[in-house]
Amino acid sequence: MILSLLALKVVRVTQLPSYPATPQPHPYALSGDGRVVVGQFAPGNAFVWRGSEISKFKPSPDQSVLDVYVQSTSQDGSIVVGKAKEAYRYNKAGGFQLLGKLEGDIDSFAYDVSADGSLVVGYSQADTFNRAFVWRKGKGMTEIPTPAENTSSIALAVSANGKVACGISTADTTTRAFRTDFRLSELLPMGRNHTDSAANDVSGDGSMIVGSVSGEASSNAVYWKNGQIFYLSNLGRDTAVAKCVSEDGVYIGGYCGNDAVLWHGKKVIRLDSVARGWTFESVNGIAHVGKRVIVTGWGNHHGKDVGYYLVMNE
């Protein structure tokens, strides 16, 4: 049955399957082609779902590595990145590859990967601060310039073409969204009524960054483009966050309060109640492929908190 959702039509919604003796899978990201979901059953207990059975993900041949995190995938889902002892990159053909740490640091974590899998971003950890890094195939890991002096930084996302990354930069108790082209990094603007901001994802060509700005008791979903900040509808809720953006920048996913939403131009679309027995609480990954919009995230199915995979047609 196809149900209407404003301009979109729901084709199917799938509850991500469970795995024996584990919590329900919590999706973190979706491949650019919309075919592969990655995330965690619980912290350190990673999974990969490719449209049928769900698989525990343990890429490291080192049996002493117990905690594995998977954070993102390449365009076709063949390459995944995250942390297993330290930042890693994995694909079936090349196997498990530790990416190392910046000189003098003690740990590292990979957060995102370019469409072709050749570039990875994340952070390298020292005793008291983090340094955003970029790793390039054949060249290794280098530090991303900080957007301001004496700040700790984390690169959370990279564009599909590998030219722009974004993330957060922290000084004392203040956190700010930043953008980088790996030569120069800059803090992104925010309104006067806000003290903090976060850049969570970037479009495929690097032209649009999505995230949030926040104050003492509220947050607004926003996007940045051409050096300017634009506010998205909060649906009257105190809290809203834009978590992901399709590679073409047409759809933004996230949540307003407890409702999963899509922003499309000036429209905001609630995913709630699009299928009997379902409510949707967040959109954590999004793909726009042809006339198809595919999202994944966290929701509730017949009273049980679960991960979902939702396919819609324009």
- Answer whether 179's CB lies under 8 Å from 185's CB: yes
Widest Cα–Cα separation across the chain: 57
35 pLDDT higher than 90:
yes
Q: What is the pLDDT of residue 101?
A: 97
97 pLDDT higher than 90:
yes
Residues 221-268 pLDDT 10s? 999 999 999 999 999 999 999 999 999 999 999 999 999 999 999 899
Total domains in the chain come to 1
Q: What is the pLDDT of residue 173?
A: 87
CATH code, domain carrying 226 = 2.130.10.10
Mean pLDDT along residues 94-105: 95
Residues 262-284 pLDDT 10s? 999 989 999 986 777 899 999 99
SS3 225: strand
> Confidence band (pLDDT; 50, 70, 90) for 128?
confident
Q: What is the pLDDT of residue 64?
A: 85
5 pLDDT higher than 70:
no
43 pLDDT higher than 60:
yes
- Answer whether 153's CB lies under 8 Å from 105's CB: no
**Domain of 139?**
3-313
Least confident among 104-108, 169-173, 175-179, 309-313 = 169-173
147 pLDDT higher than 50:
yes
User: How far is residue 106's CA from residue 125's CA, in Å, rounded to a whole number?
Assistant: 6
| pLDDT top residue among 25 and 266 | 25
Element (H, E) at 175: strand 174-180
User: How far is residue 237's CA from residue 259's CA, in Å, rounded to a whole number?
Assistant: 10
Q: What is the pLDDT of residue 1?
A: 35
Q: What is the pLDDT of residue 216?
A: 84
4 pLDDT higher than 70:
no
pTM over 0.85? The answer is yes
**Cα distances (angstroms) measured from residue 227 to each of 31, 92, 168:** 27, 39, 16
Residue owning tokens 């995944």: 80
Of 23, 62, 63, the C-alpha closest to 43 is 23
**Cα distances (angstroms) measured from residue 85 to each of 45, 65, 149, 299:** 13, 6, 29, 30
Q: Please enumerate, as own/partner, the contacts of 57-63 that have beta carbons within 8 Å and a separation of 24 or more.
A: 58/84, 59/84, 59/88, 59/90, 59/95, 59/96, 60/84, 60/85, 60/88, 60/96, 61/95, 61/96
Q: What is the pLDDT of residue 3?
A: 43
126 pLDDT higher than 70:
yes
Strand order in the sheet with 165-171: 152-158, 165-171, 174-180, 185-187
Please, what is the average pLDDT of the chain?
A: 94
User: How far is residue 11's CA from residue 311's CA, in Å, rounded to a whole number?
Assistant: 6
